Amino acid sequence: MANLAVRAKELVKWFGEADAKTYAVRGASFDAHFGEILYIVGPSGSGKTTLLSMISGILRPNTGSVLVEDKDIWSLTSDEIADFRLNTVGFVFQDYHLFPRLTTLENVAIPLILKKLDWNESMQVAAKFLEIVGLKERAHLPPVKLSTGEQQRVAIARAIASSPDLLIFDEPTASLDGETGRRILDFVKKNILNERRCIIIVTHDNRIFEYADRIMKMSDGKIMDVEEGESDEE
Amino acid sequence: MKGILKIAYKLLVNDRGKFAALLVGITFAVFLMVMMTSMFAGILHRSSSTVINIGAKVWVMDPAVNTTANNIPMPDYILDAVRSIDGVKYAVPLYSGGALVKLRNGVYQSVTVVGLDDTSLYGRPQLIEGSIDDIYAENAFVVVKDAEFPKLGAPVRGTEFEINDHRGVIVGIAKVTSSGLFGVPTLYTTYKRAVQYIPSMRYTVSFIMIEPKSSDAVAHIKKQVSSLGYEALTKDEFIQKISSFYKYQTGLGINLLLMTVISFVLGLSISGQTFYTFILENLDKFGALKAIGAKGKELVYVILFQATFAALTGYGLGVGVASFLIAMAKLRLPSYAARITYANLGYAFIMVLMIAGFSGYIGIRKVLKIEPFDIFRG
């Protein structure tokens, strides 16, 4: 197995207090490695998104720890965690959250601008990533003028623009038809995944399970099973 | 930081509907604030028109006098006493009072009569027709061509009228820096003729105007005049006293202040609400920015920049529209008093910054509370 990218240890997260206390994640531990695509699957309310948020520096666990590249991210200050998200993690949100008032190119450049790159340089670098996702000619259109599949690819370009080691996809195919979803995942597998990158995908779309290296099943806040994905069998 | 501010600018400006609504709100508020305060400034300026037009450096008056319109005549010996004060180069009397003139068509018209010292004609206006020496002619009056001039039937040199059963003749037409506040025409004549033609009380000197030997002498003159039981004020102090009277001892100040406050509240509500809606509609985007790695302070800069940019653009537009309309109104309505001063612009600027601060504050509060996790949860 390749180098360890993420190590989650005994993560627990609950919401509310006293009688209203509800456990979202109950003692979840797992490892994710560079060069693999790890799926987190399970029914709605099983704690997938909460777990994903805790390992990506977005939601602080009540107990447990998250080591990313051997660094305990929840021992960092809030500014350091923001830097961690900016430099180490790339997010592809379920609804993409593209900025409709910016061009596609500017959307992709946002992480670079946050990294304080010069505006022109940010645009040049963003253009390269748009080219990677095959949307160079759409650079100056607003995202609303793009198809859903194209918007998904813009979101991927934005997520990889800062060259993150950890790429997080939240329900990437939820609003795509089966064919487009498979095409996107195929593209991710072939062009985005590399030996220095770990991709974690939350989904319950079994049409794309074939692209997983490993599939981690969750239920009721617990990791029930981790199995090898169909990808390795190919 | 420039890059993120450029993003902030594009997010704001490219949302044309919201941006336009923001600008309309702030522009309208600034327009109203500038119009109100300009009107007030214009009225205050006109209330001091006699002081401004006469231009004497030091004015002596009864301490109870608040405006030039309501003077308390002083005995003649005060003029002699003032002339004897060390540091006084010269001192002359001034008559200022109201009168009724009967025009040739039989119409009566209120006027303000200013009687200038017969010897020096100190404080005389600039004539645009006739010679100032003609003021010594029999029954001679000089009329000021200001906004009220037509009320005398737009007289020319030689026009006759009746004033308190005396004949009056226009011998010159003058222009002055500032028109009066009360909408009555102004006539200049000599001091002696003024007190002779117009019914007076026992004392007749409305004001004593002093030319000090030097500016250093003013303090001493004021002290000496005070010991006589009267008050000596520099031109600026007198203008300030008149302004304070209208601001604080009449309803004028509070009424205009209320209108200005209403404009401010109006602008605050429109822009605050619109900006808040803008923030709410973009809340998920701010959350996404946070998730991507934007720090809280960067989002604060973004919102402050957007609020300030909208406020300053609205300020510029509001001042521009107000200036244009005031200039246009003055061309068409000579009696229109509004006057834009640096102080008006400063007040409006402070208020618009407060609008920006308030709008920014409510936006920042909302954005800092959003958790990136909410973006994941959808």
| Structure confidence at residue A231 (pLDDT) | 61
B285–A93 C-beta distance less than 8 A: no
Residue A17: band (very low, low, confident or very high) from pLDDT cuts 50, 70, 90: confident
**Residue from the list A52, A102, A113 with its beta carbon closest to the beta carbon of B11:** A102
DSSP B127-185: EEES-GGGGGSTTEEEEE-STTGGGGTS--TT-EEEETTEEEEEEEEEE-SS--SSS--
pTM, two decimals, is 0.78
**Residue from the list A53, A94, A162 with its beta carbon closest to the beta carbon of B378:** A94
Average pLDDT along chain B: 88
A118-148, pLDDT tens digit by residue? 999 999 999 998 988 888 899 999 999 999 8
From chain B, the residues in CB contact with A160 under 8 A are none
- Region B46-70: what's the mean pLDDT? 88
Question: Looking at the predicted structure, is the pLDDT value of residue A233 above 50?
Answer: no
Q: How far is B3 from chain A (nearest CA, A)?
A: 6
Question: Looking at the predicted structure, is the pLDDT value of residue A71 above 60?
Answer: yes
Residue-level length of chain A: 234
From chain B, the residues in CB contact with A117 under 8 A are 3
From chain A, the residues in CB contact with B288 under 8 A are 91, 93, 97
Residue A232: band (very low, low, confident or very high) from pLDDT cuts 50, 70, 90: low
Interface size, chain A vs chain B, as Cβ–Cβ contacts under 8 Å: 90
CA distance A147 to A176: 10
**Residue from the list A50, A85, A106 with its beta carbon closest to the beta carbon of B293:** A85
SS (H, E, C) A1-60: CCCEEEEEEEEEEEECCHHHCEEEEEEEEEEEECCCEEEEECCCCCCHHHHHHHHCCCCC
- How many CB atoms within 10 Å of residue B1? 10
Residue A55: band (very low, low, confident or very high) from pLDDT cuts 50, 70, 90: very high
A110–B7 C-beta distance less than 8 A: yes
Contact B318, B34 (CB under 8 A): yes
Contact A66, A11 (CB under 8 A): yes
From chain A, the residues in CB contact with B290 under 8 A are 82
| Structure confidence at residue A234 (pLDDT) | 43
B14–A97 C-beta distance less than 8 A: no
> First-to-last CA distance in chain B?
29
- How many CB atoms within 10 Å of residue A160? 21
Higher per-residue pLDDT: B267 or B36: B36
Q: Phi and psi for A27 in degrees, rounded to 5?
A: 65, 50
| Structure confidence at residue B378 (pLDDT) | 63
CB neighbour list of residue A118: distance below 8 Å, 6 or more residues apart: B3
Give the helix/strand (H/E) hosting B286: helix B283-292
**% of chain B surpassing 70 pLDDT:** 99
Question: Looking at the predicted structure, is the pLDDT value of residue B219 above 90?
Answer: yes
| B337-346 residues labelled b (16+ CB within 10 A) or e (exposed) | bbbbeeebbe
CA distance A201 to A80: 24
Max mean pLDDT among A28-32, A192-196, B125-129 falls in A28-32
**% of chain A surpassing 70 pLDDT:** 97
From chain A, the residues in CB contact with B11 under 8 A are 99, 101-102
| Structure confidence at residue A111 (pLDDT) | 93
- Region B68-95: what's the mean pLDDT? 91
CA distance B74 to B332: 41
CB neighbour list of residue B312: distance below 8 Å, 6 or more residues apart: B352, B356
Q: Phi and psi for A104 in degrees, rounded to 5?
A: -55, -45
Residue B1: band (very low, low, confident or very high) from pLDDT cuts 50, 70, 90: low
| B4-28 residues labelled b (16+ CB within 10 A) or e (exposed) | bbebbeebbebbeebbebbbebbbb
Higher per-residue pLDDT: A188 or B5: B5
For chain A, the maximum distance between any two Cα atoms, rounded to a whole number of angstroms, is 55
Higher per-residue pLDDT: B337 or B17: B17
Question: Looking at the predicted structure, is the pLDDT value of residue B85 above 80?
Answer: yes
